[in-house]
A and B are shown apart, each in its own frame.
Chain A
Amino acid sequence: MLRQQEILALELIFRGEDKLSRAIKKRISEAESVGWEETGVGFFSTIKLNYPLSEVPEVRMWSYAFDHPDFPFGGVFNCMIVNENEMELEGVTLGGIDWPHPIDPRLFSDIS
């Protein structure tokens, strides 16, 4: 089971309806989080997919940079697809402030 933050990050990064985004969103409910770490300015976690991706995409790194009222300089969610079964997720503030643990998806907007 993923944390709320992890689900939010994945849903924002893979908010599109392309093949990869659909495949990942489909696997969120069955995914597991291992190696969760809060760094003060963000977090890292390793996501294990119980249903592997049918293929690893050419583009491994996917990001969503956002504006948010609690982030004076914005923030970024990153997801590196390591292999069919594993992804490395990262959230980090831009500008070095403390990570405010945002959970309301309605407050996120594409970074200006």
Chain B
Amino acid sequence: MDENGLDTGKLNLSTGSLNIEHLTNRSYSSNQSVGVSANVAVSSQANPGDPTQSNTNLALNSSNYSYQNTSSQSLDKTLATVGQGSIKVGGKVVEPEGLNRDIANLTKDIYNVDRQQGNIELTVDHRLLSEEGRKQIAADFEKIADKVVEVVDTLNKASPELAGNVADAADNLQQGASDSVEGKDTTGQQIAEKVEDINQREAESLLAQELILPELGEPGDAPELIGKSFDEQVSELTALKSLQEGNFAAGEQSAEEAFQNGYIKGWESASGNGGNGWIGSDADYESAIAFYQNQNAQLRLSLGLPADAPIGGIGDAFLWGGASLLDATYQTLQFVGNVYSYPMGWSDSDNPFTANYDSLIGTDKLFGNPATVAGALGRDVGEIGSYIWEPTALLGTASILGKAAKFDDVGNVVPDKASIGFNGNPALDVVITQYNNNDIHHLFGRGGDTPTKLLDKFGSPEAALKELQMAAQQIANKNYQTGSWVTVKVGDTPVTIQGRVIDGTFRISSIAKKEF
């Protein structure tokens, strides 16, 4: 070399033997997950433990390949180098193969990949494995093809090699589906082999890139749940179901389905059953649990309880059922007293149909308020029972015609349908006048299942709004969270609404077009 470190080309090397070995330099950092998982259909009929259920209806409906990363990896070699000049080995001039002769370039990059943060998923539909499934897949294959194109496009930016494999896999799937559509003699076994081949190649490809494959899910890997464990949620659901019959039926069904979805996948994860690790699963745990918890909270609010009130036991239900019956008797006596005194005094306060009736149940009353779900439901059952139990059902009549208050401050009073106000709030007719044409059009003019049901039932938007307002008013004092959706019953019709409580009046802003 000269004084500048440049190769003069005048090197003479003579040796008995020459071994060439390059030094390998590898760097790798990553925050990534790769998942190969299977999904289980969650239908009410699905039973993971029942081997007689068909693949199409139950078990392995799809395989998910997910690839998420923020990673950087590089491989280079420090080359065995001898500068320009003469090399003799064993007295013979040689030009050893693989020996670097350029002293200005001592390293060679093998690869250097900085991957963008990715979220790539490919789903292989296992309906391909059955005749019935192939018919299904034929119907929506176009969608799958579009998705695969999108996946390959995205993947190509991160890893052309992997994208190539996926594209090949897509071709295989496309061929299989096309054969199926065209009625060619493509057996389920052949397609299954193709899927297996794809699985194998995916795994090999990932391993070849020295990525870290995840272990199967362990219980400790499961995502942290919101508030309560799965077991606690299931237990709560079971308990509530036995108590709330007839209430929140639609919401409960949705919640149960949402929860079941998350639960089954969580169970698979915890047990490692069938190799279905949670990594790569598409279970939306947080949404499922959050929705379920919301339903639990709404049930409590509808009963005049705090959103986190305990469930309570059957003893609470009996206790409050009895209290409610006693309260009914107490109010019946007041009613009968008014019947006798009214002709003599002619006082409005004595009018048995408009008088206020004291209650034993409520804030600062003899019995107070129930604190548990069971207690509140028992109280309501007792109220209903009182109409049957009382010989003349007089109080029931008075409740409808007048403003008899079965309970105070607990929200179970159904106010007068004609003209009397809502527990001291503005009268219904006054409240209704606060809705202008735009408001009413917004609520009923867009159509939808639920608004249409109300219109069919009550004949006009104004009449429907009046009934809905009465139902909505019952939750006005129950810690309603502004802008949240809540389901009320208008007769037998569940109606999910949204709004804001303003000066004690529930102002309805929106009606769900269909129950959800």
Residues of A whose CB lies within 8 Å of any CB of B are 18-20, 22, 37, 39-42, 44, 51-52, 54-55, 57-61, 63, 65, 73-74, 76, 78, 80, 84, 88, 90, 92-96, 98, 111
Interface CB pairs A-B, < 8 A, 22: A37-B446, A40-B437, A40-B441, A52-B143, A54-B121, A59-B258, A59-B284, A59-B287, A65-B483, A65-B484, A74-B500, A76-B483, A76-B509, A78-B498, A80-B516, A88-B513, A90-B510, A94-B482, A94-B499, A95-B509, A96-B507, A111-B483
Which B2-31 residues have C-beta < 8 A from chain A? none
- Chief secondary structure at chain B's binding surface: mixed
Decide: A41 near B439, CB < 8 A? Known: A93-B509, A94-B509, A111-B483. Answer: yes
Q: Are A80 and B512 in contact (CB under 8 A)?
A: yes
For B435, the closest partner residue in chain A by CB is A96
Q: Are B502 and A73 in contact (CB under 8 A)?
A: yes
Q: Are B509 and A63 in contact (CB under 8 A)?
A: no
For A39, the closest partner residue in chain B by CB is B442
Q: Which of B257, B284, B437 has the most chain A CB within a 10 Å cutoff?
A: B284
Q: Are A76 and B510 in contact (CB under 8 A)?
A: yes
Say whether B436 faces chain A, with CB atoms less than 8 Å apart. yes
Q: Are A41 and B284 in contact (CB under 8 A)?
A: no
A-B contact count (CB 8 A): 104
Expressed in whole angstroms, the Cα–Cα distance for A44 and B447 within the complex equals 11
Cβ distance A79 to chain B, nearest Cβ, rounded Å: 11
Decide: A65 near B438, CB < 8 A? Known: A54-B147, A58-B288, A80-B512. Answer: no
Expressed in whole angstroms, the Cα–Cα distance for A37 and B510 within the complex equals 15
Residue total for B at the interface (Cβ-Cβ under 8 A): 43
Cβ distance B319 to chain A, nearest Cβ, rounded Å: 37
Name the A residues within 8 Å of B512 (CB-CB).
61, 80
Name the contact of A74 in the complex, choosing from B147, B150, B482 (C-beta under 8 A): B482
Which B455-496 residues have C-beta < 8 A from chain A? 482-485
Name the A residues within 8 Å of B485 (CB-CB).
61, 63
Q: Are A58 and B287 in contact (CB under 8 A)?
A: yes
